[in-house]
């Protein structure tokens, strides 16, 4: 009887999101991350540079020759860097405020093209009152506009959104649910708005919680104000990766790279979040 051919194994690809809090200042940390975790696509937020200042040469030398950048001088800014070609690059203005908070691109990671969006949702300031705090009103208006946009039929399939959403939606996404109920990022009006985004219209899958289920604390941000962030471990899960159901079906794992919060003398207060996918055959 002839021997059966060996079974083909799925090809694994991965995507990460990271609020880097200045890509030029922390480029060595990003390159360290990509060396240790060679993801296929990296979405960045708060790059804090103009398009022409983005360190494309550094990423190309590291094996990421394709970039999509929507920058802004000194503030905000988002980008996508990739091992695979990026096409149909676009960005959207929200709330008629010309901040650089969104960029998207079409990429084929091995099983057909999908659209990847990198978002930096407004932080919202310190006071959770839209009447007294214009920044908080901007955040809520931004979320409402997102909800309306996600109702478009184009979001029904082959979509992945990620970035710094600046909301920790669940009790297990914060170090203390009770103590943070009145703190911007975990107030009921914000968490409800994010839950409505997740479940509304075509529906999304939270890929981190698909693989790190509730019941387990998970954080992606630790404040600079903590004297010893690691000892106090007062974190929040502000950084998210969501996808439509068809992409979620290929999701094979997720991880939060907590050690990155302590890298170097000036780390970001956020850490990378990674989602893994099995696509096609190796």
Examine residue 249 and state whether it is found in any structural domain, yes or no: yes
- 1 assigned to some structural domain: no
- Interatomic CA distance for residues 210 and 219, integer angstroms: 15
State how far the Cα of 242 lies from the Cα of 162, in Å rounded to an integer: 6
- CA count, 13 A, side-chain hemisphere, 141: 14
- Nearest C-alpha neighbor of 102 from the set 86, 85, 90, 87: 90
Residue 7 resides in a domain = no
**How many independent structural domains does the chain possess?**
1
- What are the Cα distances from residue 30, in Å, to 34, 41, 205? 6, 13, 27
Would 6 be classed as within a structural domain?
A: no
Beta carbons of 97 and 103 less than 8 angstroms apart: no
Report the residue count for the chain.
282
Q: Say what the pLDDT of residue 268 is.
A: 98
Residue 273 in any domain: the answer is yes
Distance CA 228, CA 157 (A): 43
Examine residue 9 and state whether it is found in any structural domain, yes or no. no
Q: Which residues sit opposite 15 in a β-bridge?
A: 41, 275
Per-residue pLDDT of the chain (282 residues; tens, 9 = 90+): 455 454 455 689 999 999 999 999 999 999 999 999 999 999 999 999 999 999 999 999 999 999 999 999 999 999 999 999 999 999 999 999 999 999 999 999 988 999 999 999 999 999 999 999 999 999 999 999 999 999 999 999 999 999 999 999 999 999 999 999 999 999 999 999 999 999 987 789 999 999 999 999 999 999 999 889 999 999 999 999 999 999 999 999 999 999 999 999 999 999 999 999 998 754
- Count of CB atoms within 10 A of residue 249's CB? 11
- Domain membership of residue 91 as a residue range: 14-279
β-bridge partners, 80 = 43, 68
The per-residue pLDDT for 2 is 52
- Residue 61 in 3-state DSSP? helix
CATH code, domain carrying 137: 3.60.10.10
pLDDT score for 202: 79
**What tokens appear for 129 in the block?**
């009152």
Report yes or no: 56 and 50 within 8 Å, Cβ to Cβ.
Answer: no
Report the alpha-carbon distance of residue 219 to residue 212 in Å, rounded: 11
Report if residue 4 sits inside a domain. Answer: no
8 falls within a domain: no
Tokens of 93: 């203005």
pLDDT value at residue 229: 95
Residue pair 128/185 in contact (Cβ under 8 Å)? The answer is no
């Amino acid at each position: 009887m002839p021997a059966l051919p060996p079974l083909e194994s799925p090809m694994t690809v991965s995507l990460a999101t990271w609020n880097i809090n200045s890509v030029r200042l922390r480029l060595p940390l990003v390159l360290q991350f990509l060396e240790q975790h060679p993801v296929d696509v990296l979405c960045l937020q708060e790059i804090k540079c103009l398009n022409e200042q983005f360190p494309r040469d550094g990423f190309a030398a590291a094996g990421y020759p394709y970039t999509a950048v929507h920058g802004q001088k000194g503030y905000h800014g988002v980008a996508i860097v990739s091992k695979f070609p990026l096409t149909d690059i676009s960005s959207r203005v929200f709330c008629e405020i010309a901040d650089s908070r969104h960029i998207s691109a079409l990429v084929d990671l091995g099983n057909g093209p999908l659209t990847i969006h990198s978002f930096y949702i407004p932080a919202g300031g310190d006071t959770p009152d839209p009447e007294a705090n214009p920044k908080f009103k901007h955040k809520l208006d931004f979320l409402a506009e997102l909800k309306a946009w996600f109702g478009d039929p184009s979001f029904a399939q082959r979509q992945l959104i990620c970035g710094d959403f600046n909301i920790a939606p669940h009790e297990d996404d914060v170090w203390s649910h009770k103590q943070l109920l009145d703190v911007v990022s975990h107030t009921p009006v914000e968490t409800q708005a994010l839950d409505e985004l997740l479940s509304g219209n075509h529906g999304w899958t939270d890929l981190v919680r698909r693989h790190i289920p509730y019941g387990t604390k998970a954080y992606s941000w630790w404040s600079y104000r903590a004297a010893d962030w690691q000892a106090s471990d007062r974190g929040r899960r502000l950084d998210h990766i969501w996808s439509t159901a068809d992409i979620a079906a290929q999701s094979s794992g997720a991880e939060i790279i907590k050690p990155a919060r302590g890298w170097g003398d000036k780390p970001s207060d956020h850490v990378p979040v990674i989602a893994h996918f099995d696509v096609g055959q190796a």
